[in-house]
A and B are shown apart, each in its own frame.
Chain A
């Protein structure tokens, strides 16, 4: 017998499936049942650019300690896809468990000596029970969940409750699923050694009131709560589910009681050129509007984004980042659109970026972005990514303060115009760089203006005068400075011991960083941490860098894009910021971060300069 990995509540199960086989809901059921037992899980979809037939994986990390980042490595493989068998089996950790459909005998050479093989004749069980081909396919997934529940000690009552919730009112479906689950459990009980699998789930109390949600849905809900009325979008992975979620939330919560009419407008545009155009048109006309997209969409929107910057039109753009252009890597995650968003467009432009760490912040920052866009009259980017957007993540419950009022920014009213208040569309009346605007149709004779890109004076009159241009550009820069105090501020967490080392990170790196900091500290390496939540960087970011001898900056891109922004915006010596980069399309892990930072710290320790020369 090979060695067997033993662990209670700390392990990784990877499901290898075929796209379109109905495995997704069964796998989610698996993850959710463990959650319901009070043990935190973090599942991740690894999927190809395909609808049916190609391989897809679902990786569930079980962690009573609460680590929600990707761990790396596989302790148990549920190998349901012959196409990827070799690769999947090769990735299994020594002493791990290979769970497979043993209906057809397989040659010894297909297995490994150093892993524990668990064969369950899933197809045979299905064929003996069901005659319908689709049922055979779908219930096979539930049968393996049943067998796994025996092997891992997952409480069947919890799974049955989940069936009840999922198929509420459809008693026949509940019964059929319970039956399939029981088939798997019965076979495993009768045929498998109960001590074969040493990975176990034990009920705990570490989930609390946390919710389990995808970032895209949370961002959509943030737009509902934040008062967005216009959504214009174009389908693109991994952002499409955000607009779809907005639609379904609006259907539920945004109809006139008496007439049933919609208090929102959603347009699936012909392309991203049009979707951002509609958002800008709506923003110009006083409605809160957003679009959701990903990198290539940003590229197409870029000219318009520049216009919105110069013409000072509110717009919210949720960028669910992915890998590069074209198809393939785009179903993987990255944080590689920082520069293309921060400086999107021609001319001197700078934009405000927000970096949510999880679905909860996708919700709050989307709502905040709608306020900021109107307060600052400029495009605001919510920079999420595939890892947050398309995976269910455990996070604190969403919160809304009912006393909160939308910040509609500086809008001059008909009454103010009537009273003779001076209106200059690009006039800096308060010294914060933010001018007043009027909505079209406000007043019969006052407050109308012509919106243009660059060529206008403080009163929106056409002017090609260089001084007038410079005057306007300086005001826009003042406005950008104002933004620093309005955006979500960074969150600092100091190490338990004094240290001259710091680490900066942002977005979906957050759960991996939590783990990395623990790993480092267990290894006697102490690092102060700061999580960036927005660009432009507030002064506290500069101070953090300057008070440390060296600061690591963790990013999920090749070029150290955040580092580039930091060096140029804060005029920091590049030597002070050490890049830690991960960009192979998989979500970053705590092990990777701790390894990279730990190695750098060891390098520093080698010999001090003083000792070297003495």
Chain B
């Protein structure tokens, strides 16, 4: 995140990552979001995650829908191509982009209005197709740009700034993603960077549809008593199931799986080391994950951490058996069957 103008030049002693970039090379334009907005913290976490993963910024394509969250991609990774699409429809544009060039890293940024209301259909279908991407929902339970209406993730009974009580059930995007077939599902809190950064790194490294539902308080419209998406509420009710360490390269598997200890899960060239907090929580158990999330929701708590993981997913390209070469690099020689084939086709049509 970038919220104050900084000079282009920077101190030569700034640490560089494996590909020769400093953290500053991952910055974007100056944020125009409200001071204290949770979204800026998430942007900062994305910057840190990409720096630490030694991703070349230009190999990332960042796409968003419409809303405060969807403005955020401007404020990180300034050397990446970005696309501010239409409301609720980032998933389809990202799917198309991914089909065109499977070699880039795709990051979709959306909000709760964008993904849980107008975009719920596209959100669901992207998950079931297994598009290889990181889907970050900056979830504040409220429409910010239109000044404070409830969104579909607002919990039933939560109170708006002007006193209205939400009468509709809230949509849990993490559960939804698990049901729809996402292969990496995590939840975090914008105010907990130590939990968030490793989750983003793990999600980016996940070779399938990875979703991160990040509760991100709206300081302007949803940070008051009675809100279930405020800083205070989430701090008090955050139930982390595990903590994650992200290890690149192949690390040895830890065999023991005792409660409170760690378990290593290999995932395409990296390892996720989970420090268990809830002793019996097993992120490989889909039904168990859904039951746990529901149980916590019912108790008025927010389950965070890596909630569900299929470490060996098949993505959309694998399912379609598309060529390893990006489709956008194919030329006439690859694509056009030529006139002699056409002559044969003509002959078959007489």
B interface footprint on A419-461 (CB within 8 Å = 1, 0 otherwise): 0000000000000000000111111110011111100000000
Of A275, A286, A397, A450, chain B has the most CB atoms within 10 Å of the CB of: A450
Contact of B58 among A398, A441, A453 (CB under 8 A): A441
Asked if B104 is at the interface of the complex by the 8 Å CB criterion, the answer is yes
Question: How distant is B230 from chain A, measured CB to nearest CB, in Å?
Answer: 30
A274 touches B122 (CB 8 A): yes
Residues of chain A within 8 A (CB-CB) of B349 are 211-213
Asked if B81 is at the interface of the complex by the 8 Å CB criterion, the answer is yes
B interface footprint on A374-396 (CB within 8 Å = 1, 0 otherwise): 00000000000000000000000
Q: Which segment of B93-101, B134-142, B155-163, B256-264 sits at the interface? A: B93-101
Residues of chain A within 8 A (CB-CB) of B78 are 448
Residues of chain A within 8 A (CB-CB) of B74 are 450, 462
A229 to B102, CA, bound (A): 13
Question: How distant is B251 from chain A, measured CB to nearest CB, in Å?
Answer: 29
Asked if B23 is at the interface of the complex by the 8 Å CB criterion, the answer is no
User: Among residues 263 to 307 in chain A, which have CB atoms less than 8 Å away from a CB atom of chain B?
Assistant: 263-267, 269-271, 273-287, 289, 303-304, 307
A209 to B122, CA, bound (A): 47
B100 touches A441 (CB 8 A): no
Contact of B338 among A210, A212, A275, A402 (CB under 8 A): A402
A265 touches B92 (CB 8 A): no
Residues of chain B within 8 A (CB-CB) of A224 are 335-337
A interface footprint on B55-83 (CB within 8 Å = 1, 0 otherwise): 01111010100000000011000111111
B350 touches A211 (CB 8 A): yes
Of A260, A265, A443, chain B has the most CB atoms within 10 Å of the CB of: A265
Residues of chain A within 8 A (CB-CB) of B342 are 225, 398-400
Known contacts A287-B99, A398-B345, A445-B58; decide if A261 and B324 are in contact (CB<8 Å).
yes
User: Among residues 281 to 334 in chain B, which have CB atoms less than 8 Å away from a CB atom of chain A?
Assistant: 317, 320-324, 327-328, 330-332, 334
Question: How distant is A49 from chain B, measured CB to nearest CB, in Å?
Answer: 25
B338 touches A287 (CB 8 A): no
Q: Which segment of A81-89, A251-259, A560-568 sits at the interface? A: A251-259
A270 touches B334 (CB 8 A): no
A307 to B93, CA, bound (A): 11
A227 touches B86 (CB 8 A): no
A492 to B166, CA, bound (A): 65
User: Which chain B residue lies CB-closest to A227?
Assistant: B335
Question: How distant is A220 from chain B, measured CB to nearest CB, in Å?
Answer: 11
Of B61, B93, B98, B101, chain A has the most CB atoms within 10 Å of the CB of: B93
Asked if B249 is at the interface of the complex by the 8 Å CB criterion, the answer is no
User: Which chain A residue lies CB-closest to B327?
Assistant: A229
Known contacts A267-B99, A451-B84; decide if A253 and B79 are in contact (CB<8 Å).
no
Contact of B96 among A230, A307, A445 (CB under 8 A): A230
A265 touches B322 (CB 8 A): yes
Known contacts A229-B335, A261-B322; decide if A441 and B61 are in contact (CB<8 Å).
yes
- How many residues does chain B have at the interface if contact means C-beta atoms less than 8 Å apart? 61
Chain A, interface residues (CB within 8 Å), range: 35 or more
B79 touches A445 (CB 8 A): yes
Known contacts A441-B101, A443-B58; decide if A278 and B339 are in contact (CB<8 Å).
no
Contact of B336 among A227, A267, A280, A307 (CB under 8 A): A227
User: Among residues 100 to 121 in chain B, which have CB atoms less than 8 Å away from a CB atom of chain A?
Assistant: 100-101, 103-104, 121
Known contacts A211-B349, A274-B89, A406-B332; decide if A281 and B97 are in contact (CB<8 Å).
yes
B80 touches A448 (CB 8 A): yes
B339 touches A280 (CB 8 A): no
A265 to B82, CA, bound (A): 23
Question: How distant is A504 from chain B, measured CB to nearest CB, in Å?
Answer: 31
Asked if B22 is at the interface of the complex by the 8 Å CB criterion, the answer is no
Residues of chain A within 8 A (CB-CB) of B104 are 285, 440-441
Of A260, A271, A448, chain B has the most CB atoms within 10 Å of the CB of: A448
Say what secondary structure dominates the interface of chain B.
Answer: helix
Asked if B13 is at the interface of the complex by the 8 Å CB criterion, the answer is no
Question: How distant is A528 from chain B, measured CB to nearest CB, in Å?
Answer: 33
Say what secondary structure dominates the interface of chain A.
Answer: loop
User: Among residues 183 to 241 in chain A, which have CB atoms less than 8 Å away from a CB atom of chain B?
Assistant: 207, 209-213, 221, 224-227, 229-230, 232
Contact of B321 among A262, A405, A441, A442 (CB under 8 A): A262
A444 to B77, CA, bound (A): 12
B92 touches A273 (CB 8 A): yes
A284 touches B345 (CB 8 A): no
A221 to B337, CA, bound (A): 10
A284 to B61, CA, bound (A): 11
Question: How distant is A198 from chain B, measured CB to nearest CB, in Å?
Answer: 29
Of A207, A280, A399, chain B has the most CB atoms within 10 Å of the CB of: A280
Of A260, A281, A303, A448, chain B has the most CB atoms within 10 Å of the CB of: A281
A45 to B62, CA, bound (A): 47
B81 touches A263 (CB 8 A): no
Residues of chain A within 8 A (CB-CB) of B322 are 261-265
Asked if A401 is at the interface of the complex by the 8 Å CB criterion, the answer is yes
A307 touches B327 (CB 8 A): no
A285 touches B84 (CB 8 A): no
A401 to B342, CA, bound (A): 10
A448 to B83, CA, bound (A): 11
Residues of chain B within 8 A (CB-CB) of A443 are 58
Residues of chain B within 8 A (CB-CB) of A221 are 345
A445 to B20, CA, bound (A): 13
A307 to B87, CA, bound (A): 11
Contact of A254 among B80, B320, B324, B335 (CB under 8 A): B335
Question: How distant is A270 from chain B, measured CB to nearest CB, in Å?
Answer: 4
Asked if B29 is at the interface of the complex by the 8 Å CB criterion, the answer is yes
Known contacts A262-B322, A444-B56; decide if A267 and B95 are in contact (CB<8 Å).
yes
A263 touches B89 (CB 8 A): no
B121 touches A271 (CB 8 A): yes
Residues of chain B within 8 A (CB-CB) of A35 are 350
Of A209, A253, A405, chain B has the most CB atoms within 10 Å of the CB of: A253
A133 to B141, CA, bound (A): 62
Asked if B85 is at the interface of the complex by the 8 Å CB criterion, the answer is yes
A287 to B101, CA, bound (A): 8
Question: How distant is B64 from chain A, measured CB to nearest CB, in Å?
Answer: 10
A397 to B344, CA, bound (A): 11
Known contacts A211-B350, A277-B122; decide if A263 and B327 are in contact (CB<8 Å).
yes
User: Which chain A residue lies CB-closest to B83?
Assistant: A451
Asked if B346 is at the interface of the complex by the 8 Å CB criterion, the answer is yes
A400 touches B73 (CB 8 A): no
A267 to B324, CA, bound (A): 18
B95 touches A278 (CB 8 A): yes
B interface footprint on A158-175 (CB within 8 Å = 1, 0 otherwise): 000000000000000000
Residues of chain A within 8 A (CB-CB) of B93 are 277-278, 280-281, 284
**30 interchain pairs (CB within 8 A)?**
A211-B349, A211-B350, A230-B99, A253-B337, A261-B322, A262-B322, A265-B322, A269-B125, A270-B121, A270-B122, A271-B121, A273-B122, A277-B91, A277-B93, A277-B96, A278-B95, A280-B93, A280-B96, A281-B63, A281-B83, A284-B93, A285-B100, A287-B100, A304-B86, A311-B83, A400-B338, A441-B101, A449-B81, A449-B82, A450-B84
In addition to A207-B350, A441-B103, A444-B79, 16 A-B residue pairs with Cβ atoms within 8 Å of each other are A35-B350, A211-B349, A213-B349, A227-B330, A232-B95, A254-B335, A259-B323, A263-B322, A265-B317, A269-B125, A285-B328, A311-B83, A406-B332, A441-B101, A448-B82, A450-B74
